[in-house]
Amino acid sequence: MDRLRVGDWWDFSVDGSRVPMQLIWASQPPLSCAFANRSATSKTDLTLAELSRQIQRDLARPGKDMDLPLNHLIEGLLGIDPFEHLGVDQHRRREQ
């Protein structure tokens, strides 16, 4: 379970639906962890053994980063450069 990082998003299967939840806490040494949904209205506490069983049953898996604002996600999907209007070339930004 070396891939657990606080802030990462995971997808959990709950009653057949995908529920994205963010890892909000992990004990040290890593024995247990806690996840919360995006609105922080639901929290799930798991031991690492329980999380491992959920992963094996395909009930939990690492999810997509949901911290990006929606407009950046849409721009990325559409291939739009959000900095184009500033006259900044994406390639030049990466080299800096």
Burial of 9 (0-12, 13-18, 19+ CB in 10 A): middle
pLDDT digits (tens, 9 = 90+) for 31-43: 999 999 988 899 9
**Entry pTM:** 0.66
Which domains occur in the chain, in start order? 1-64 (2.30.30.140), 66-96 (no CATH)
How far, in Å, CA of 59 to CA of 13, rounded?
5
For residue 88, pLDDT beyond 80: no
In the chain, % of residues over pLDDT 90: 52
Any residues with CB less than 8 A from the CB of 82 and at least 6 apart, and which?
Answer: 71, 72, 75
Average pLDDT of every residue of the chain: 80
**12: its two tokens:** 């959990």
In this prediction, residue 4 has a pLDDT band, given cuts at 50, 70 and 90, of confident
pLDDT digits (tens, 9 = 90+) for 12-30: 999 999 999 999 999 988 8
